[in-house]
Every structure is written in C-alpha cells, then in structure tokens.
Chains A and B, each alone.
Chain A
Amino acid sequence: MSMTDEAPRLIERPVAAGDPSAAPGTPSVATERDVVFRSEDVNVYYGSFRAVRDVTFDVRKNQIMALIGPSGCGKSTVLRCYNRMNDLIKDARVTGTITYRGTNLYDERVDPVEVRRRIGMVFQKPNPFPKSIYDNVAYGPRVAGQKKGLDEIVENSLRKAALWEEVSDRLKDSALGLSGGQQQRLCIARAIAVGPDVLLMDEPCSALDPIATAHIEDLMQEIKQDYTIMIVTHNMQQAARVSDTTAFFTADVRSENDTRTGILVEVDATQKIFSNPSDERTENYVTGRFG
C-alpha cells in the first residue's frame, strides 16, 4: 500500500466542464465567493410524505462537510438533493432553494446531467461498472463526449485517488477483481475523472474494513484542496476526524402514524459540535447517550 510515497498533488483538473458563471439560471442571491452550496428551507417529499424538513445551511469551498445522525434521519436524502439524484426517485419532490455557486439547482433551465458532471457522487456500496479499471475511470469523460487524452485523465484520476500504484500494470483487468477498498477508491477516481467541483460521499466507508477506511479518509484530506466535499457518515469518529463542519440531523418520529421526518438540529464547526454543541440532542448523540 503506497499511500504516502506517491503524493497525488501536482495534477491539474483533468476536464474543465465550463465556467460556472456560464451555467443557466439567474444568480438569485448575492453570495460570498466561497459559498458553494446555500440551502434554504429545503424539504424533501416522497409523494405526500415529508421525509426531510426545513434544512438550511451553507457549504463552503474546499471544506469537508459531514452530515451525521441516527438511521432514518434523512442524511442521504439531503445529500442526494445536491446533485439532483432524487430526481431518479419517482414521486420525490424538493422544495425550498438550493443554490450552487449562486444558481438555483432546481431552476427549470438547469440540466441535471450537467449538474452531476460538476457535482460528483460516491456511493455507499462500491459500485464499479463491470468493465475494466481503465474503462471505469474513462466512463464519465466518454459520455461527456471526450475521445482524446483519456489515458492522461485515467492516470491523473487514479493517482489522485491513490490507486495508481496498485493498478497501473493491470488497467485492462476487470474492476470487479479489486478489493472493496480499491473498488471504492476506483469509484472516487471515476467521480474525479469528469473534473467535478464538489464530491458527495454517501457513507463511502460503511462497507470497508478499518484499513481501507483509513485510506479513504487520508485521501479526502489530500483532495479537499481541489474539491468541496460533503460526506454522510454513520461513524461519528469519522466525522470528527475528517470534517471541518458538521451538520447533525435527527428524526422526528410521530408514533400515531409511524412516520419519521428528518430535521436538522444544528450545524457548526466540527470541533464545536463534538466538544460543546449548542443543542442538547446533539450532545446526547455525540456522547453516545442516544442513537
């Protein structure tokens, strides 16, 4: 395992997906330059059922934002709002506003496909395509229409994902032959290859062993200088270790009809959330008294 001797830093962003200011939609609010996402009163509904209520927070550039909370509190649902992944779920509806660098993500002129090229995603279960390692990483650039310079993109992305050393001699082998941790880093390389601005990570380490988890966490620290990262995690230590800001969610359970709605309890600097939270529910959770 060569995490350290191959410092993945010198690489420039492989694909420039266009100037953000050229994206459609009107800048609705004047924002500070380094606010990547601004969410205001975001609600997510599945049909008539409200899964998440009134989420408001900002995500800043080159920061790692962790979303934590007990199961069923809507963390993943919230995360999937930021690259329009919830569009794929029938009956899912998002209200409120989420702006990405000043542009409303849910403006009807916004193309979700373009959004996903700029806001990449890494999923809970490593999901490499049943193709070669090379084709996995080249997939995104290829569907974006790129034909030249793929070798370079693949190498750069794999280097950034700290996987190049392990796979450079077998790029044509099936990605399914990699270990779980390698597969997840491959998925990170695949997400990086399209040159995104933000990475959304939905419990990326929940299927990995501690060593592979440490790899991914180191990797996040390395790449945060280039990307803004939002990570959902079940693991509080992980949130404490890797993130700059933490948002704590909990579920508002209504026993009369057995439904639960996710609510945002508080957002603050990670250190404060874990040492001196303002809300009692957060304190109970992070000290292990609840959830």
Chain B
Amino acid sequence: MRTHRILAILAVLALVLTACGGGSGASDVGLVFDIGGRGDQSFNDSAAAGLDLAVDELDVSSSEASANDDGSNREELLNLQAEENSLVFGVGFLFDVPMQAAAEANPDVNFAIVDGFVDPEAYPNVASLLFAEEQGSFLVGAAAALKSQTGTIGFIGGVSIDLIKKFEAGYIAGARAVNPDIEIISQYVTEPPNFDGFNDPASGRVIAQSQFEQGADIVYHAAGGTGAGLFQAAKEYSEANGTKVWAIGVDSDQYLTAGDDVREYILTSMLKRVDVSVYNTIEAHVNDEFAAGPVVFDLSVDGVGYSTSGGFVDDIADQLDAYKQQIVDGDIVVPTTP
C-alpha cells in the first residue's frame, strides 16, 4: 500500500516535471546578443526590434541573452538557447565559430547568424544574414557630399575592423561620386582587439568636435552606442557657432531612436535592416520554410538604405534614388575596402 502510494506520487511528479521541461514548442525563438546587449540605439536594438515585431505578429515566444563582458560564453549561450528554442539567433560576426559548434551539437534546431557567414554545406541548419553595408553607406555618402557647404565631411568608425571599413569604403565612394574633390576626415575610436569603440559616447563626442572644428559640416558614424556622442557634439557645435552641422546615423533610423533634443541634427541614417532580416527568418521558420545558407540584404531588396525621417534629404531624394538605381542595376559597383 505504502509503496503504491510512493510510486503514484513519483509518477505524478515525473509527469509534472516532463510537462515543465518540455517547454520548447515549435515556435520559440532565442536570441543571443554580443557584449552590450540591448540599448545601443543602433545595431543590437535593430535586431531586438525584429524580434519584438515577430513576438507581436507571429505569435512566437522569445528569450534573450547577452554574452559575458569578457565574451567567453557565446557558445554556451547558443547551446542553452537551443535547449529551450527551435530557432536561435547570434547577433554579430563573432558568433560564427561558436555557432558552428552549437549547430553541430543541436542538429534539430535552426540557427541564424547576423553579419556572419557559416558554411551551409557543413552546417545545414544555419542561415547567414549578410548586409551590403557599403551600398547603403554609398547613398548617405552621396547625401553628405550633396548637402555639405564646406566641402569637408567626416566619418567615425567604432573599431577599425573589416566590417566597419565596409561602411567607410561605401561612404567615401558615394561622396566622391558626387564631388571628386571632397575632403573626407576618417577616424576610428579604437583599434582591435579593443572593442570599446562601439560603446564610448565620450570619445565619440571628442572626435566629432575635432572633425567639426576641422571644417567638416556633416559627420557619419558607424560606431553603435558611440554615436550618441556624435549627436551631442553636432548639437553643441551648432548652438555655439550658429552654423548648423549635421550627423548621419547608422543601422536604425536614429532620428526616431536618439533623443528628442538631438534629432533635428540627424540628416539621415544609413539603414541596415537587421530587424527585417530577423523578422523574415522567424517568419520563414514558423512557416516551415527556413533555408540554410547566406541571404544578402542589399539595396535591391531594401535590406540597406537611407532614412527620410525629418525631411532633411527630401530635396535630394531624386539624386539619391538615381544612385540607388545605378547600384541595383550594377552600373556602380561599390568597393568594400577603403
């Protein structure tokens, strides 16, 4: 009698535990940010926006995590997300090697890497979401050259790595296409392996100030959270000198994401539709249409582009769209290294 009761209790417990443990439905999405996580008003927030939209529209549940400050647990977090979810994102190119290991350890889970490439031949459950940053940067470079009064423009890169050099290369090419003689000041906040340059608004402000003082009247940043310093500097310099200088945002439409007090200094933003790539991947996964391998988000699919919020570039929209068409048609090939 007694043993029976214990057995019964154990059986019930086992049922309850399995019910709890088996929480991973087919429509759960896990997302792992790199160091920093949400709140950069830029790259990571764009990925988060795609996830949030999917949660609202597609009836999926989501969970997030971000790597330790020393970046040592990317692979573990991917594995952990794969335990609980059927689709796992890694946001940033440093996830490429960790994702190979996690994809191999979890063959039944779909993975997607933003900004990185994982070979689908070897890892048939990984999608690679890639962006033609140089094409979008070309357009904002052209906008800067068209709008510049001084003939000098600036570029601030977060960390001098190949990814950010794509932004610089496109920006320079676009500006030169409009005005071959334009002066371009390029600076990077930090050198690898120091990644602080993506989250250092104080340095961003100092560098932007010096570029404005050297005569640049439009400065484009590809520096994540550091860009907040550029916006601040543009506001301060404009107010102090009575001549308006501009900032160009990156990744998200920063006219909308940066603070109200600085938005009127944001000429446009180079849009990198990480949100679209994340949302599309989730949608395909939910509809059982997930495909491994690279997907390139370029101008032809509006995966990159420029923002028009504020209306500051409405007068040159025709010229910018003409450049866009030439790039889409292949008449202009934008370089990826400066």
Q: Do A and B interact with each other, yes or no?
A: no
B positions within 8 Å CB-CB of A: none
